[in-house]
Chains A and B, each alone.
Chain A
């Protein structure tokens, strides 16, 4: 399949990202969309000024209720990440702080090393996941962690 990376063509979709749904995840549909936008911001697939997929396109692609998409976009607006422009669409206002790609790769490498050690110690995937979650909780409680929920872990913010 040819992918045109050249200039704007007339039938090119206006957004650099596309949504997908995981029906078995148990996560409400609108939250899945919210998470995917946040993820795309973190990974740099979406940048300031970029347009989110048009409601009509999302709905026609995923066969979901347009109100669900609107709810997701409202939530993203509420989190200060995007803004709707009447008649035009919804656009990225600010990006999430993202860790550089090289740093991400390094962190993943050290995590992989940790996982190998854990595996050798006899821990299975569920066990590792439980440990990770527990450590994350501890980090949050100690106040050093960053959270994205509700505009960001007020208790943990150090001025």
Chain B
């Protein structure tokens, strides 16, 4: 199975601070992966390492089917859209295209121009004169012109208004449909995940907290609602992600991949991806790492 990103024992230290630690994961290709976590969780560090903009302190990371991050082979296959769509503001859009064409071995200029025309962005306009939404679309156009196998985006939605956000995601998803490109993007917007992502990685404090197929994660979690005085007995039987109790009633968000035999007097409800991710974000000590094993390296993935 081809992987989009696989890391083993990956760590990055800036001075005395570990921005990322003991990161081992293997994300299969062909997914739209949402990377979420609070500020300082290590999302940007992980993405920078995968793109090859930073070098690991420990371990290694491979991208787009096992190419060592930062290698020439990896640079050909991976495109990156940095935070706030970093572009040269004083240059016209056409010049950004020219730069892209001369810096990349793979470059589809015709397609890039067609996209811009479709979006109604005049090539002679300076990047700084575009709206935030247009700027992000130019950055996406440049990234897709590489015809990458893996597209990595750091907070692509952060600076966009709701309409631009929708348009950007629609353009991104259309690229996935047409080219089959794997996508990994970090975001604070947990609500967007459910519509867009089929694979989720949650980070906290420089470590991977949750990593897995969205459908499997949702199928593997349930909310059990029942009498509070019997909650302890139920909580002993399953790993509990979130425990909410009043004096009479308790809601336990539990993890169980087997079909749960609901204890008498209790009710089981399904849980949505957004609720699930939020519960993990609020409970940094809980984790679920059941992804596949990496092809390279001896560390087990996602334990």
Interface residue ranges, A against B (CB under 8 Å): 21, 23, 26, 29, 55-56, 59-69
Q: Given that A26-B272, A65-B32 are known contacts, is A59 also in contact with B176, CB under 8 Å in the complex?
A: yes
CA distance A21 to B173 in the complex (A): 16
List residues of chain A with CB within 8 A of the CB of B174: 56, 59-60
| A58 nearest in chain B by CB position | B177
| A29 nearest in chain B by CB position | B195
Can you give 23 contacting A-B residue pairs, CB < 8 Å?
A55-B177, A56-B174, A56-B177, A59-B173, A59-B174, A59-B176, A59-B177, A60-B171, A60-B173, A62-B170, A63-B166, A63-B167, A63-B172, A63-B195, A64-B195, A65-B32, A65-B173, A65-B176, A65-B197, A65-B198, A66-B176, A67-B32, A68-B195
Interface residue ranges, B against A (CB under 8 Å): 32, 166-167, 169-174, 176-178, 194-198, 272
List residues of chain B with CB within 8 A of the CB of A55: 177
CA distance A63 to B175 in the complex (A): 11
Output the least CB separation between A144 and chain B (Å): 30
Smallest CB-CB A-B distances: 8 pairs: A63-B169, A66-B177, A63-B170, A60-B174, A59-B173, A56-B177, A59-B177, A64-B195
Contact between B170 and A59, CB atoms less than 8 A apart: yes
List residues of chain B with CB within 8 A of the CB of A65: 32, 173, 176, 195-198
List residues of chain B with CB within 8 A of the CB of A21: 195
CA distance A64 to B170 in the complex (A): 7
List residues of chain B with CB within 8 A of the CB of A23: 195
- Contacts A60-B170, A60-B171 known; 16 new A-B pairs at CB < 8 A: A21-B195, A29-B195, A56-B177, A59-B173, A60-B174, A63-B166, A63-B170, A63-B172, A63-B173, A64-B195, A65-B32, A65-B173, A65-B176, A65-B198, A66-B176, A67-B198
Interface-centre pick from A26, A66, A69 (highest chain B CB count, 10 A): A66
Output the least CB separation between B190 and chain A (Å): 13
CA distance A73 to B59 in the complex (A): 42
Interface-centre pick from A59, A68, A69 (highest chain B CB count, 10 A): A59
| A55 nearest in chain B by CB position | B177
| A66 nearest in chain B by CB position | B177
Output the least CB separation between A90 and chain B (Å): 13
CA distance A113 to B178 in the complex (A): 51
List residues of chain A with CB within 8 A of the CB of B197: 65
CA distance A29 to B214 in the complex (A): 13
CA distance A21 to B197 in the complex (A): 16
Contact between B178 and A56, CB atoms less than 8 A apart: yes
Output the least CB separation between A156 and chain B (Å): 25
CA distance A7 to B195 in the complex (A): 35
| A60 nearest in chain B by CB position | B174
Q: Given that A26-B272, A59-B170 are known contacts, is A64 also in contact with B177, CB under 8 Å in the complex?
A: no
List residues of chain A with CB within 8 A of the CB of B196: 63-65
List residues of chain B with CB within 8 A of the CB of A67: 32, 198
